Amino acid sequence: MAKTAVKISVPGFLAGGVSAGIKDGGHKDLGLIFSTVPARVAAMFTKNTFKAAPVLIDTERVKRGIAQAIFTNSGCANAATGKEGIADALAVSAAAARQLKIPEEHLLVCSTGMIGKRLPVKKIEAGIPRLVKSLSENGIEDAQEAMMTTDSFPKIAIRRGIVGAKDVTVCGIAKGAGMIEPNMATLLTYVMTDALVDAKALNTVFRQTIDTTFNAVSVDGCMSTNDTAIILANGLAGNNPLERAQARLQRFREMLMDVLTELARAVVKDGEGATKFITIVVEGAKSKSDARRVAYAVANSNLVKTAFFGEDPNWGRIIAAVGASGVSLEKEKVSLSVGNMTVFSQDAPAEFQFAKLKEIIRKGEIEIRISLGGGDKSYEMCTSDLSHAYVKINSAYST
């Protein structure tokens, strides 16, 4: 996470956040990321049928490959709001673009919060001049704060490195907390970089890295209507353009992967009510999709999740979830280990020290490894437990 000693800024990017009164208590609810020059853009969105209005608008806008600003409101998702929701998002987008003096199509809009409520356009419009005025090189933390909903800590990751003989920065911010399931977590994540990256290469690299980071986490198995991941690359580092199949691209990819991994792990750790960070590795599968299906069956089992919350070494629930995944398995070949200790293999409990298992699951971070013994494909993901706090947070979200 962001350390105060590290200066959180990216050459050519300004950011800011203010309160427009959408959320109660004067919390920041409008955030802005602005590149001083038009930037290359790549993005990924939720696969939910009921995509929020801003998602529908951004999906079209990113096709141009160029964007300069990301405007975010929290406190209202502007989802399931129909044509009026689109009109509301366009009104806000037009007002923000006008104030920034950029073409409207170069501005992306994102919303997060409650589904099914109209966007408070007047409040937002009234806040825009202050928001634009708040822009500064050091405003990334404010922009992050403005997109938080039930998040309990800020999620910012930054890497600096030499790419093509030039200093390059990659910085990402995210919000998470609930409705966290791939495609993607309820999740807004924005990456800012000053690297110059070829359009195709940027798309490919962003897709690949999101797939193994934000598309491999689950908190509650619920896919949101608003999930959005955006990268802006403004090219101000002055490097020669990074292209596909280039070794130089690899260094950039690593930095991006580091940033996204750190953010995705932070989202799981800050999952609503989470007290455990659980990594699930499924190996020996016939296909990656089989491995993924088994991993998600375990990750989304409420019985597995509550057992981990209770530090209850009830490993049989993991086996039940594997068996319920619908993946065709030879059960004699399946083995299960928790924290490097095998607890089940050859269709029977392994010999292990129960006290040691209890000790392992008392830790905050736990690895579950499931070997299917049927192939060489694998899948790794992370998830959290299911606690009283999750129920508490989510049983009174809108009221």
Output the smallest distance, CB 115 to a copy of itself, in A.
Answer: 3
Q: Which residues, other chains included, contact 231 with Cβ-Cβ below 8 Å and sequence gap of 6+?
A: 41, 42, 43, 190, 191, 192, 193, 202, 206, 256
Output the smallest distance, CB 302 to a copy of itself, in A.
Answer: 5
- The CA distance from 108 to 59, in Å, is 9
What is the DSSP pairing of strand 107-112 with strand 66-74? Answer: parallel
Which of residues 11, 116, 238, 339 is near a copy of itself by CB under 8 A? 116
Is 285 near a copy of itself (CB under 8 A)? no
Output the smallest distance, CB 359 to a copy of itself, in A.
Answer: 14
- Three-state helix/strand/coil letters over 355-380: HHHHHHHHCCEEEEEEECCCCCEEEE
Which of residues 12, 85, 139, 374 is near a copy of itself by CB under 8 A? 85
Segment 146-185, which members bind a copy of itself (CB under 8 A)? Answer: 178-179, 181
Is 337 near a copy of itself (CB under 8 A)? no
Half-sphere exposure at residue 323, Cβ-oriented, CA atoms within 13 angstroms: 12
Name residue, tokens 């004699």.
332
Segment 40-59, which members bind a copy of itself (CB under 8 A)? Answer: 47-51
Q: How many residues bind a copy of itself (CB under 8 A)?
A: 68
- The CA distance from 43 to 228, in Å, is 7
Taking Cα atoms as reference points, which of 263, 262, 237 lies closest to residue 252? 237
- The CA distance from 259 to 282, in Å, is 24
Please choose, out of 35-43, 97-105, 241-249, 382-390, the segment that lies near a copy of itself by the rule CB under 8 A: 382-390
Is 365 near a copy of itself (CB under 8 A)? no
Segment 305-324, which members bind a copy of itself (CB under 8 A)? Answer: 306-307, 309-310, 312-317, 319-324
Task: Tell me if 60 sits within 8 A of 25, measured CB to CB.
Answer: no
Is 386 near a copy of itself (CB under 8 A)? yes
Contact map string, positions 215 to 254, toward a copy of itself, x by CB under 8 A: -----xxxxxx-----------------------------
Dihedral (CA of 254, 251, 169, 40) sign: negative
Query: Which residues would be at the binding site for a copy of itself (CB under 8 A)?
Result: 47-51, 77, 79-85, 114-117, 178-179, 181, 220-225, 300-303, 306-307, 309-310, 312-317, 319-325, 328-329, 331, 343-344, 346-349, 386-388, 390-392, 394-399
